[in-house]
Amino acid sequence: MVTPEILDGLEVYLVGGAVRDRLMGLPVKDRDWVVVGATPDEMRSRGFKPVGQHFPVFLHPQTGEEYALARTEHKTGPGYRGFEFNTDSGVTLEQDLARRDLTLNAIAQARDGCLIDPFRGQEDIGNKVLRHVSNAFVEDPVRLLRVARFHARFGFRIAPETYAIMKGMVANGEVDALVPERIWSEVRDALGESQPSNFFAALRECGALERILPEIDALFGIPQRADYHPEIDAGVHTMMVIDQAAKLGGDAQVRFAALVHDLGKAVTPEAQLPSHYGHEWSGLGCIKQLCRRLRVPGEYKDLALLACEVHLKLHRVGELKAATILNLLERVDAFRRPRRLDQLLLVGEADARGRMGRESAPYPQAAILRACLKAASEIDAGGIARRAKSGPAIARAIREQRTKAIESSRRGY
């Protein structure tokens, strides 16, 4: 709750996502406020804590919620330091709302509940349209990514005039100024939305995908064998896979691994098409390149590399010999990290279902591999160690018993 005393005499409005989500009947997670007619000194004197030196935002000392001074801004260079903010006490609420990205985010709510909507954001919400507020949109290339992410979250169509301004931002090099950390942050968040493929579709439509994620863009137009992939196109398949990963409830790491698991198909020699023999190995370098450029955290990269390497073996687990299955379990460190196996199996299931006409196909491979792991984990490794005479002998005996246990477990499938 907001403490009344600290706000007495201030003209305060709820703004942005909290208003938007409330109008859409969605749960409100975070609340942001704008203060009209105040100065930084006044905010500090009331006990608000400033956020940084270059951004006119203050934290409420009790609630921790953000209170930003009504402001206009002008781009002078990259990053927050590249914006010159005008927080003069004469800046109006409408001027503040005019600098926001989309009309659905440019709605304010007064403390008495009255809505202020100068750019018809409610109408765009009703019509399910994402529309930029003004031509100031072009001053911050992150907004292009945010539009694409909202497309993935809500499924709203992007207004033609907004697409036009996004294409212009690509053509004039604005997207090239995006820093790797911010690209990665938006990609990660977009993968967490209900239909992540919409994010990449929007970026591809405006030409930005080729500039910021060339490894993903390169998959489109690459043919695959129709008997395995009725959708033919490797890019289309990848989009189906990430949507399946979302549908299956995969976490952010799973969804990223699903996104990049087939990058090797983009570098398959033309003479070999539509087959992609060895793409699970050629894709490793592509993943490393992407992760290095965007500074992707190590845990995301590690799972992605494993998924790329083993996804074909996951699909064929019912055909593999027991010793090969044991090698696979050891390769993914399943005995010590069973959650990693669960993540990889979700990638495998998403890959199997991310094909035209096979969206609801069963994936028995998951149950088979989990049963193999359970059986192999239940052998008496301690007893074997006590009976064996040396380290190498212990390892050989454990592998032999685990292989037999896996072989036995497979008879039920």
Residue 99, classified by CB atoms within 10 Å of its CB into exposed (0-12), middle (13-18) or buried (19+), is buried
**pLDDT value at position 384?**
81
**pLDDT value at position 79?**
45
What are the structural domain ranges in the chain?
1-121
Write the single-letter amino acid at 95.
Q
Instruction: Give all strands (DSSP E) within 43-111, no chain letters.
Output: 49-50, 57-59, 66-69, 72-75, 83-86, 108-110
**pLDDT value at position 75?**
54
CATH tag, 1-121 = 3.30.460.10
**pLDDT value at position 397?**
87
**pLDDT value at position 413?**
67
Question: Which pTM was predicted?
Answer: 0.89
**pLDDT value at position 72?**
79
pLDDT (tens digit, 0 to 9) for every residue of the chain, 413 residues total?
A: 455 578 888 999 999 999 999 999 999 988 999 999 898 889 999 999 998 766 789 999 988 999 999 987 655 454 444 444 455 557 899 999 998 999 999 999 998 999 999 999 999 999 999 999 999 899 899 999 999 999 999 999 999 999 999 999 999 999 999 999 999 999 999 999 999 999 999 999 999 999 999 999 999 999 999 999 999 999 999 999 999 999 999 999 999 999 999 999 999 999 999 999 999 999 999 999 999 999 999 999 999 999 999 999 999 999 999 999 999 999 999 999 999 999 999 999 999 999 999 999 999 999 999 999 999 999 887 788 777 767 788 888 889 999 999 999 887 66
**pLDDT value at position 1?**
47
Backbone φ and ψ for 309, nearest 5 degrees, come out as: -70, -40
Distances from the Cα of 22 to the Cαs of 31, 102, 109, 181, 371, in angstroms? 11, 16, 11, 30, 46
3-state class of 15 per DSSP? strand
Cβ–Cβ < 8 Å for 31, 111 = no
Count the alpha carbons within 13 Å of 377 in the hemisphere toward its beta carbon.
14
**pLDDT value at position 54?**
66
**pLDDT value at position 125?**
98
